[in-house]
Homo-oligomer: A and B are copies of this chain.
Amino acid sequence: MTETASRPTLEAVAARAGVSRATVSRVVNGGDGVREPLVARVRRAVEELGYVPNQAARSLVTKRHDAVAVVIAEPETRVFADPFFALQLRGISKELTAHDCQLVLLLTEGRDDHARVGRYLAGGHVDGALVFSLHLDDPLPGLIRGAGVPTVFGGRPGWGDGTRDAAPAVYVDCDNRGGARAAVRHLVGLGRTRVAHLTGPLDQTSAVDRLDGFRDVMVDADPRLVVQGDFTPAGGERAMRELLERCPDVDAVFAANDLSASGALRVLREQGRRVPEDVALIGFDDMLPVAEQTDPPLTTVRQDIEEMGRLMARLLLSGLDRRGEAAGPAGTPAGVVLPTTLVRRASA
């Protein structure tokens, strides 16, 4: 696209307005420190010549901003409280930095702000988006489709049945269901018979998949042995208290993640239940240092969270690189599912 040479330059604007290049640049970038008559003169020249400032012109031609947005569909308070996100961002940051690509984290107070996130994504500020922690009824996936930016999801999106989206979403996930099965099988192998599950928030596919894995093994489980949590330590405490009231004879617990397991552990100790002697406990994530610093340290299902972040970024960047090619993004796999491993420590 060599036609860019015909695009009006900063110099042309400066000449038309009868001011210096520096003055044009200051006005275009906000007008600070330039007297009002000059500002008006420069703006008139900008309008008359149809001048487009550098970045917009460049991005119009190259379609590249060298920036990728990260959207975490949680309030900023949770983004900073849950080390899961910090780890995923670490992987993303390393990969983007290696490609001299700016990580643009869009923070929100809550779901009400997702329309604004959609506007920013649609506004031509980034080349693509990495989106995670989606909830089933979240408007974000629709807004992202509307924004038309290439996107890779962290965790399998919930609309993967083909009814809401023609093209399959590209995502990176871990084997939540298989990992859960391994955890529950381990508890059964210890001879435990009253095995419970503290779930994550069931509007997220990762929590649903882990519950499915639990049910794969505990086919005829007493429904009272499944209590809903929310992936937070406080949620784990609440769920564990409820579980002990419902089923005082519980002898094993699979918590949907390590943070909720750490909450459950506090309640078990408070109520005088020894872990693992009275109640065996397994978490999910192998979130360090949490999983190692609990007393006793947590047996858990390991997923490589940082690597998942890195892989999300890599998939997005390679998709962007391929966009000019005839093949298009057809070669991109719809979902990449990483394996999990059971890590044995003292709690089960």
Contacts and interface: CB of A to CB of B under 8 A. Distances in A.
Interface of A: 1, 3-4, 7, 25-26, 29-33, 36, 43, 46-47, 50, 52-56, 59-60, 63, 65-67, 76-77, 80-81, 83, 85-86, 89-90, 93-94, 97, 100, 102-109, 113, 116-117, 119-120, 122-125, 147-150, 167, 323, 326, 329
Contacts of A117: 102
Given A29-B148, A53-B60, A124-B53, A103 B107 contact: yes
9 contacts: A4-B47, A30-B63, A46-B60, A54-B124, A80-B80, A94-B109, A97-B108, A100-B116, A104-B120
A50 B119 CA distance: 23
Contacts of A104: 104-106, 120, 125
A326 B40 CA distance: 13
A29 B128 CA distance: 10
A50 to B, nearest CB: 5
Nearest to A43: B1
A29 B90 contact: no
A225 to B, nearest CB: 33
Contacts of A4: 47
Contacts of A63: 30-31
A298 to B, nearest CB: 21
Contacts of A43: 1
Nearest to A113: B97
A125 B125 contact: yes
Given A53-B60, A56-B60, A66 B116 contact: yes
Nearest to A93: B76
Contacts of A54: 123-124
Given A31-B63, A63-B31, A116-B100, A124 B326 contact: no
B124 A55 contact: yes
A329 B32 contact: yes
Given A3-B47, A60-B56, A102-B116, A323 B67 contact: no
A152 to B, nearest CB: 13
Nearest to A98: B109
Contacts of A150: 30, 32
Nearest to A47: B3
A125 to B, nearest CB: 4
Contacts of A29: 122, 124, 147-149
A90 B50 CA distance: 40
A76 B90 contact: yes
B76 A123 contact: no
